[in-house]
Each structure stands twice: as structure tokens, then as C-alpha cells.
Chain A
Amino acid sequence: MSAYRLADGGAIDRDRVVRFTFNGRAMSGFSGDTLASALLGAGVMLVGRSFKRHRPRGVLSAGPEEPNALVGVGEGGRFEPNTQATQIRLYPDLIARSQNHWPSLGFDALAALDAASALFPAGFYYKTFKSPLRAWPLYERVIRALAGLGEPPKLPDPDSYGERFAHADVLVVGLGPAGLAAARAAAEAGLRVIAVEQDFRPGGALLAAATRINGAPSDLFVDQQASALREAGARVLTRTTAFGVYDHGLVGLVERLAEPGQTPSGAIAQRLWKVRAGRIILAAGAIERPLTFADNDRPGVMLAHAGAAYAQRYAVAAGRRVLFVASSDADYAALDALLRCGVSVCAVIDPREMAAIAPPARVIAARAGEHRTETTVIGALGGARVEGARVRRRGVDGTLDGDAMLVAGGWTPTIHLHAHMRGALAYDAARGVFLPQSETDTVRAVGACAGVASTAQCWRDGWRAGADAARALGRSAPDDPSPEIDAPLDEHDGFALPIPPRGADKQAFVDFQNDVTMADIALAAREGYRAVEHLKRYTTLGMGADQGKTSNLIGLHALAATREATPGSIGLTTYRPPFTPVTLSALAHDQTGANLEPTRRSPIFDDLVAAGAVMQTSGLWLRPRYFATHGETLHEAALHEARAVRTAVGVADASTLGKIEIAGPDAGALIDLAYATGVRTLQVGKARYAVMLNDDGFVYDDGTIWRLGAERYLATASTARTAGVLQRLTFLRDVVAPHYDVDVFDATEAWAALVVAGPRAADVLRATLGDVPPMAPQAVVETPALRIARISYSGEHAYELYCRPDAASALWRNLHAAARAAQGALYGLEALEWLRIEKGHVAVGAEIDGRTSATDLGLKAFIKKAPHAGARAAQRPAFTAEGRWRLVGLRSAYGADIPEGAPLVDDAGEQCGRVTSSGFGVGVGGAVALGLMRDGPAHHGAIVTAASATRRRHVRVRVGPSCAYDPEGARLA
């Protein structure tokens, strides 16, 4: 047993020893410990090095406000850096190590930075590393190597994380006396209650105090309340943090089922809750502040109530000769708890004169070694551990011996969740804190976070809030059982304003995590960073993992003192979620990897794979890029496939194409409104190529419109644009023309689509389907099971066949067999690209990029004069101005492949366009590309350079018409 573990007491199970390692050293604690209490119990005070100055640091607090004791825990993929030791429930075989030192925690070579700290005042790198400018890359490398806290895990997280939605009439955040009362009142009234506590034990401040309730230790009372809550049907979640409040009563919770670095015992490590709460009762309590004196960051300087918590709850003494530094009468409650637990307090230091100290406080102090009144602490002695205090009484300096200093600097209400919903805050000048001014629509703050000081009042305040919630929902509110609370000094206000911090001591730390001192705040104010948000960004005050929970208000008081202003007139920085750090794995939960988004597969996906398809993604879809039947490369396969289409026949899967059915008396009118191409003359049994514009007048998509009946149409859309086309069609129908009587239905998955293209397409069709009547170009034939249109994207005689998805596999195999017999082949997207490029067909994402007009793309002939969506926008002067980049065809002048995406450069060295798509034209026999070029059609015949800097390739290309292959369309006849 270490000298720091008290002989008895504490909510720990001394029969259950828990072994762990810290920096490789084997140690042990007890079940019920946190990592911090186990380390302190083992006599380890030095737990880390500070961020900037590498000063030795120890445990400051016993809760989520901890700025110093950040450790890395776990191994491999479960390793988690920057974890607060005060927040980890000790578990067997926990592996923890300290951070930010080299070579070791005890001897840190970078501690030299502290000696040189005069060189690193606030904002130093804005000033120091400015010149010479060319040296910045070197500076940056050195600074980056030194910067950052902790190391990220290098392996993927092996654990699963869950997500759950829940609804509640009342969500209670924090289960101290106020939260327990609120939850109980609401639950007993029959409301649906969710009550969360970030600690693994409910009780809040009661766990750290020597309070007795109904004549028994408060632990018993807390356990009774928790079971009463569960019996009344409330969901009580411990080790669960409400990290943010959002609109409409949405609260994010993270429930930790496994501790950081721990192998989960169940299926998941953590669970993200999204709770919709009718009311949120915020009972988050308050956080104690440290005092600002020189070297106030020495290991062994700890918050007074944290010291009490370690003694009361974990039976751990912060030191063997403790100095207790009080600011107000209420602080003596912590002293009382320490003394009752048997902690040896050799001196109590209080800046007030004896007469100003409440008599019960004096009685408590009399049980300690000595009571030094009218005395202020001006510094801490010691290095890796505190060795004493420098004190001043009536202008006379002296020292006091001690191995720990427990400091009470007043309390800051934990109002984060109130502020997340932009709840108003009011500055309480008498107490020096900000308090919720009024309830927001959803959040009501109760207890210490609302500035209520005593345990008994907190209980009553919480009960009232729970009862009010019940009454507001028409339930009768239960009576307050009014427990008898015996807490020392309970009537004294713990929020009483301590002496405001003043001075410019560069060893007096305000923000421990970011090494921000009183000197840095004074410097920032002197240099004009006098707004609180500027102060934060210039000094980094309040940044980091703890977000200034112990420091923000001190910094604000210090800033106010430099300006002779009040904190109320300066205001606070913005509170933003999360309240405490949330691991990204919990936010992502199961939506990672293959679950990130759905994968869409063609109905004949298995047949495609069996035929050797190599897939590529196209939006959410997987589509065959090419068919590697005999181990061909991409280029070899595409060449073979494209040649088959040009010389014999090819069969392809086009099931991913968007298929939107438009039906009703006003179907024609809606299409007329939505598409820039006229369809009024389209006859039943015919299809037509059509262009859709966006509201800005640029081309949005192109496709075909099939007229299946008098009031029935099918519109196809590009795979990647289907959702957008549907969005536009429904917008025009619902908002622009709600008087139209027309249905719009996405039938993409109701039909499989197969394409047969090539000079022998009609033979293959006949061989597969039997007698098909001859179809003229653009003709559409419909049977109940099949729709066939004679339309072509490849430039060859071609058919699109739509059938039911469950019939597609058989049709595909029959078409494939017939095509093979006709010396044909299957073809994929790569071959299709080659075919459409030499034919001059534009595609979404390449030429249709949201910045090209119909005229730019050579589609002017498809634009009607009659009104349509986007027509007026397309008449803006810039659309017809000279100098627009317009579609051209490009042929390789000397045979080399044309680099896709390359800028086109003229002989003067100026960029005049770019290559949008590139391939090999099997029809024209050479490399072909499409591009957009300044006034392109005026430069047919010119030779320019496709200059790819990234591929280091410059290829001379000849500019020509976009359609290089069969411009007369003879092959389509």
C-alpha cells in the first residue's frame, strides 16, 4: 500500500486489485478507481509535459475539465491519444503512457524550451519566422515536428460503434443532487425520462463531499435515487456525455461501453445517441478554477475539491503534507472532507482576515495544522513536484513546506449546453460568473450551473424543474420528498468572487493545456487583442482538448483588469459542441467502409462478372469498364470491343441509365417545360434526343424521350444525373406548374436495359427474339414484357432493349450467344467512350460540366424557340459573346495518344482550351479527343498543343469538327 492511499474509506473495492502499466511500469489500483486516482494512489504525481514549454505537469482536477493529465492509452488500433486520465475508469491490463517528452517523462530534453520561454510569447511565430521568406519551409518543418500533442493511432480501429435514436419528454443532463431530483420528479409523474451522467457513478458533487442525507452517507442516498429512477421507468445512462444540443431538441450523447483503449466486452465500444427531447434539464454543475500565482502549474498543485474527491471517493491523499488554499467560506467544506478522510493538512491559507471568516469554517480549520489568515500564495516551490509555497502576509514574504497544494479559486457554472442553443447569459458582477439568463425553448438550467449554491437548494431547484415539466405536459407533479441534507457550510455561497487575477507573471499559468500565462494575456492586451475572441486566437487561451474549462473565465477576468472593464462588458467566447472530445469512430459509427453508401448493382451483375467484367464506379453504381475474357489489358480489351461494334456487333448493359416515366393529361406539357428540345411533334412510337437546361441556362443533362402513348412518356437520363433530373422534373411540376395533372415516377430499377449495336445488330435481335418487325431509326416498340427503341449512342445501327429485371439475365445470355455467332463481343464503358468521342457525342462530367451552353456544345439545333425552363437565362449576353470555349474534335497530328484534361496551348504559348475526353478512334483509325476551345469552330484545321504538365507530355493535335466518324450518319440509316 502506497503512502498516498488512505487506510480506509472510499467507493473502491479493495478486494479487487486492478493491474495496469504507466510508461511501461507495472502498477495497481482498485476497482472503482480512475486512472488518475490509481496513479495518485501509487504516488505518481508527474503525469505529462506541457504543450509548448514542456513543463512537468500533474493531475489538476478529478473530472472532464482536466487540462494536464492527458495520456495515450491502449495499443495498436485501439490506441487513443490525449485521453484525460481523470476520465478513464481503471480496467485490468490498461496500458497508459505520458505524452510530449523526449527521451522520457522524467528527463525531457525539450524542457529547455521552458528556460527559453521568453522567446516564445503569445503569437511568437507570427513575429519570429517572417524573414527571410524563403526560409519558411525550413521553419515550418521544425515547428511542425515540435507542435501537436499526442500521436494519432496508426492502425484502423478494430471496434464497432453503434448508433441509436431515442425520444424523451425530459432529458436530464448531469446526475448530481439537482439532476437526480429533476429526473425523479419527472419520472414519478410518468414522463419518458432519459437521465445521463458522464461519470461512471451518479452523484456529482456529492461524491466529493462529506455530506449526509437523511442521516446516512450521501452514497446511499444516491444509489437509492438511481434505483428509484429506474423503477419509475427512466433510462439512466452513466458514462454517457451529452456533448451537444442542436435545433428542435436534438441532443447528441456518447455512451462509453468500453473505456478508451479497452477491448469491448460486448459488440460495440461506444454508442452514439441522437435524442429528441421535449425538454432538456441541464444540471451539469460547476467547475472549480485554480489560482494564478507563480509556478501554479507544478505537479501537486490541485483543485481543492478535486483533492476532496480523491480523498472521499477514492481514498487517495494528494499529499502527505497538504497546504489548503481557500478563497471563501464554502471552500472549507472541502477541507472538512479532507480532514474527515484523514488527509494530513499542515496549513490552511486564506487571504481574508480572521473576523471575515465564518465561525464554522474557523472550527474546521482549527482541525488542520495551522490557519494562516490574511495570507496570499505568491508562488509554488519545487520542480517535478511541489515542495512548498511562497506566501505573503501584510507585505512580508515567507515560505511554507508541503508536498501538495489544494487551491480553491471559485466556481464556474457549466453552461455549455445552454449556450449551444444560443441561450442568453447574464454576468453576475457580485459573483464574477456568467449565468443562464432565462430558459431557452428547450433548455432549463438548474442547480450549480444556474448559480444555485447549496446542496439542499440544488435538490429543490431540480425537483421544481422536473415537476414543472410534468405539469406542462398535463401530469400532476409528485411532492418533493425533501430529503434532510446535512452538508457543512451549505448555506455559504461557493460562487463568491475571489480576488480577481492581476499582474503579468510569465510563470503564472491561466490555461495549463496551452501554456498561456498572465504575461501572455497582458501582452495580447497591450498589442491590441482586446476582444475576447482575438485574445483566444492570439494566445490560444481556451483551445485544445479541455476548451478552457478551468481557464476561460480567469483569462476573461485578467483581460478585463488590463482594460479597467468588467467581464460582463467584454463577454465570452462562443461555446460550441462538443462539450468534451468525442472520438470520430463514434460519430461515424457503422457508416464506414462498405456501409458508407449503398452500392448499386445492375440486375445482371452476376452475369457481367461471369463474363469477365472489370467494374468501375459510376456514382453509386458499379458498371463494367471492360471485359477481360483472356487476360487482356484495358487497352487491348477496349480495342477489341470497340472494333466489334464498328465491324460486327456489340452487346452492352445500360441498366444504370435513369428511366423516368412521365404520364398524365399534362405529361407533354411538363416535358415541354422541362426540356429545351421540342417534343410536341413527337409521335407515339417514336423517340427523340433531348437536352435539359438548368435554371442558369447551361446544359444540365441530355437523354432520349420515348413517346409510349398519347399521355405516356419515358425519359432517359445520364446515370449520374438521374436523381437531379428527377428533382428538376418534380420541382417544375410541384412548384412551377402545380396545376398540371401529371405523374413523374423513377422507373430506373423497374427495367433492365441492354444495348445491341453494330452493323449486325438487327440480325442479333432477330436471332434472339424471333421475328421483330423492321424498325426505322428512332422507332419505339412496346410489348408488356419488352420495350425496344432504335436509338444509337455509338454511331452504329443500334437498339436499346428494356425488359423486367428478372428476365434480363436470360435475355443477356441469348444476346451474348447470338452476338458471338455474329463475330461480335460484349463491350464496356471504355469502348463506349471511344465510340462516342469519335462520334462527337458529349457526356455529363466531361463536356456537360455545368459551364457549357447548348451553343457551346454544338447542340443549338436541338433548342426550340418556344418557352422552356432555363430559356431566358440562356439568352443573357454572355451566352452568345465571342471568346466562349466551344466544342471541337481533336485528332492526334502524329499518332500519339492525347492526354485527357490537358490544356490546349496555341503557338503563342497561350492557353486556348482543354481536352475534355480522349480515346482511340477505331472508326477513324487514330487517337481522337473532344475538347473545349476558345471560339473553337472558327479554328477548324488549326494545329495546337495538348500540353500536360502533370504527365509531362506534349502532343500536337489538329482541331476539327466534333464528329469525326460518319458525319453524314449513313451508318444509322
Chain B
Amino acid sequence: MIPCPHCGPRTEIEFVFGRALEAAHAHDDPAAMMRRANPAGWTAEVWRHIHGCGAWIVVERNTATHAVKGTRLPEVPAP
């Protein structure tokens, strides 16, 4: 289950993975775009609630257990 900030807790099949949050913020930096920390543990990713509100959200996920800690709306990146 992934708690969508807009829609509440919804099953994972309603969502689609986008990319790691760090890669999302580096979307226009070709050098950084392909770099991944790829941790075995907690990481932040952007997912889209494609079969729900359609919004992109930040999902805190554990790559080792697939546990989801929480979600939030993306913040304005620092300039």
C-alpha cells in the first residue's frame, strides 16, 4: 500500500515508478542524470499515481524490504 498525499492509502498497482528523486532533480544535468546512489535500504523516489489523481509524489521506500515509510508532495528544488 502506498499512501497518496491526495487520495489516501492505495494499492501499489495504481502507481508507476518514475525515477530516483536525486535523478529527478538532476533531470537537466546530463552528467548527473544517470548517476545513482542505489542504496540497499531507504531511498526517496518519485512515483506517479497514474490510476488515481495522476500526480507525481515522493515515495520513501526501502529497496531491501520494499517497505514504504511515507509519501509527500515534491518540494520546490533549491535554485
Main DSSP-derived SS at the B contact region: loop
- Of the stretches A138-146, A727-735, A925-933, the one at the interface is A727-735
The answer to whether B28 touches A876, judged by C-beta atoms less than 8 angstroms apart, is: no
Number of interface residues of A (CB under 8 A): 23
Docked Cα-Cα span, A99 to B33, in Å, equals 55
For A732, give the chain B residue with the smallest CB separation.
B27
Give 1 or 0 for each of B15-34: 1 = CB within 8 Å of chain A CB: 00010000011011110010
In the bound complex, CA of A157 to CA of B30 (Å): 51
Show 19 residue pairs from A and B whose CB-CB distance is below 8 angstroms, ordered by the A residue.
Answer: A247-B12, A276-B11, A441-B67, A695-B27, A696-B30, A697-B30, A731-B18, A731-B56, A734-B55, A734-B74, A735-B56, A736-B24, A736-B27, A736-B77, A738-B73, A738-B76, A871-B28, A872-B30, A873-B33
Distance between Cα atoms of A935 and B54 in the complex (Å): 42
Query: Considering the complex, which residues of chain A in the window 851-872 have a beta carbon less than 8 Å from any beta carbon of chain B?
Result: 867, 869-872
Closest to B33 in A: A695
Within 8 Å by CB of B54, from A276, A730, A735, A739, lies A730
A248 within 8 A of B: yes
A696 — which chain B residues lie within 8 A by C-beta? 30, 33
Q: Using CB atoms, name the residue of chain A closest to B56.
A: A734
Segment 651-709 of A: residues with Cβ below 8 Å from B = 695-697
Question: A248 contacts which chain B residues (CB < 8 A)?
Answer: 1, 12, 66, 68
| Docked pose: A869 CA to B57 CA in angstroms | 20
Which residues of the partner chain A approach B4 to less than 8 Å between Cβ atoms?
A: none
Nearest B residue to A868 via CB reads B28
Provide the residues of chain B in CB contact with A734, threshold 8 Å: 55-57, 73-74
Assess A727 versus B48: contact at CB under 8 Å? Given A734-B56, A873-B33. Answer: yes
Residue of A nearest to B18 (CB): A731
Number of interface residues of B (CB under 8 A): 26
Q: Which residues of B contact A871 (CB under 8 A)?
A: 28
Residue of A nearest to B2 (CB): A248
Contact B30 A730 (CB under 8 A): no
CB neighbors of B among A413-445 (8 A): 441
Judged by DSSP, the binding face of A is loop
Q: Please determine whether A869 and B28 come into contact, CB atoms closer than 8 angstroms.
A: yes
B residues near A731, Cβ cutoff 8 Å: 18, 24, 27, 46, 48, 56
* CB–CB B74/A873 < 8 A: no
A869 to B27, CA, bound (A): 8
Output the least CB separation between A95 and chain B (Å): 39
Min distance, Cβ B15 to any Cβ of chain A, angstroms:
12
| B residues less than 8 Å from A872 (CB atoms) | 28-30
A697 and B56 alpha carbons, distance in the complex (Å): 22
Bound Cα distance from A867 to B29, whole angstroms? 12
Instruction: Assess the A870–B28 pair: CB atoms within 8 A.
Output: yes
Interface residues of chain B, those whose CB is within 8 Å of chain A, are 1, 11-12, 18, 24-25, 27-30, 33, 46, 48, 54-57, 65-68, 73-77
Contact call B56/A730, Cβ cutoff below 8 A: yes
A247-B12, A736-B77 provided; 6 other pairs, C-beta below 8 A?
A: A735-B18, A735-B46, A738-B76, A867-B28, A871-B28, A872-B28
Name the distance in Å between A111's Cβ and chain B's nearest Cβ: 49
- B-contacting residues of A (Cβ < 8 Å)? 247-248, 276, 441, 695-697, 727, 730-731, 734-739, 867, 869-873, 876
Q: How far is the CA of A735 from the CA of B28 in the complex (A)?
A: 12
Chain A contacts for B18, CB-based, 8 A:
731, 735
Contact partner, A739, options B12, B30, B55, B76, Cβ 8 Å: B76
Per the bound structure, the CA–CA distance linking A709 and B66 in Å amounts to 46
Nearest CB in chain B to that of A744: its residue = B54
Highest count of chain B CB atoms <10 Å: which of A248, A276, A876: A248
- Shortest beta-carbon distance, B32 to chain A, in Å? 10
Residues of chain A within 8 A of B65, CB atoms compared: 247, 441
Which of A697, A871, A872 has the largest number of chain B CB atoms within 10 A? A872
Given the complex, which residues of A lie within 8 Å of B11, measured CB to CB? 276
Shortest C-beta distance, B62 to chain A (Å), equals 10
Q: What A residues does B12 contact at CB under 8 A?
A: 247-248
A730 contacts B28, CB within 8 Å?
no
Shortest 9 CB-CB distances between A and B: which pairs?
A: A734-B56, A247-B66, A873-B30, A735-B74, A739-B76, A735-B24, A735-B56, A738-B74, A695-B27
Closest to A440 in B: B65
Residues of B close to A870: CB separation below 8 A: 28
Chain B residue nearest in CB terms to A740: B76
Measured between beta carbons, the chain A residues less than 8 angstroms from B54 are 730
Partner of B48 from the list A276, A697, A730, A739 (CB cut-off 8 Å) is A730
**A695 near B74 (CB under 8 angstroms)?**
no
CB proximity of B66 to chain A, nearest CB, Å: 4
Nearest to A874 among chain B residues (CB) is: B30
Name the distance in Å between B35's Cβ and chain A's nearest Cβ. Answer: 13
Determine the chain A residues whose CB is within 8 A of the CB of B57 once the complex forms: 734
Q: Are B1's CB and A876's CB within 8 A?
A: no
**Chain A positions within 8 Å of B30 at CB level:** 696-697, 872-873, 876
Closest CB-CB distance, B55 to chain A, in whole Å? 6
Q: Which of B46, B48, B68, B73 has the most CB of A within 10 A?
A: B48
Q: Who on chain A is nearest to B75 by CB?
A: A738
What residue of chain A has the Cβ atom nearest to residue B58's Cβ?
A735
Measured in the bound complex, the distance between the Cα atoms of B26 and A869 in whole Å is: 11
Of chain A, the residue at the smallest CB distance from B11 is: A276
Complex: chain B residue closest to A737, CB-CB: B76
The distance from the CB of A238 to the nearest CB of chain B, in whole angstroms, is 27
Q: Return chain A residues, CB-CB under 8 Å to B33.
A: 695-696, 873
**CA distance in complex: A869, B68 (Å):** 30
The answer to whether A730 and B27 touch (CB under 8 A), given A248-B1, A738-B75, is no
| Chain B minimum-CB-distance residue to A733 | B56
Residues from chain A with a CB closer than 8 A to the CB of B25 are 735
**B71 CB → nearest A CB, Å:** 13
Q: Do A730 and B55 form a contact, CB below 8 Å, given A248-B12, A871-B28?
A: yes
How long is the Cα–Cα vector from A276 to B68 in the complex, in angstroms? 15
Residues of B within 8 A of A869 (CB): 27-28
Chain A residue at minimum C-beta to C-beta distance from B76: A739
Kindly list chain A residues whose C-beta atoms are within 8 Å of the C-beta of B27. 695, 731, 735-736, 869
The residues of A that contact B29 with a CB separation of less than 8 Å are 872
In the complex, what residues of B have CB within 8 A of residue A697's CB? 30
User: Hey, which chain B residues are within 8 Å of A737, CB to CB?
Assistant: 76
Task: Give the docked Cα–Cα distance between A276 and B28 (Å).
Answer: 40
Closest beta carbon of chain A to B45's beta carbon, Å: 11
Please name all residues of chain A whose beta carbon is closer than 8 Å to the beta carbon of B67 when the two chains form the complex.
441
Q: Using Cβ atoms and an 8 Å threshold, which residues of chain A touch B28?
A: 695, 736, 867, 869-873
Question: In whole angstroms, what is the CA distance A696 to B25 when docked?
Answer: 14
Chain A residue nearest to B29 (CB atoms) is A872
B4 nearest CB across to chain A (Å):
12
CA distance A737 to B56 in the complex (A): 12
Q: Could you say which residues of chain B place their CB within 8 Å of the CB of A735?
A: 18, 24-25, 27, 46, 56, 74
Residues of A close to B1: CB separation below 8 A: 248, 276
Q: Which partner residue on chain B sits nearest A870 by CB separation? A: B28
A248 to B46, CA, bound (A): 19
Per the bound structure, the CA–CA distance linking A876 and B77 in Å amounts to 24
* Docked pose: A736 CA to B48 CA in angstroms: 14
A441 to B24: give the CA distance in the assembly, Å. Answer: 31
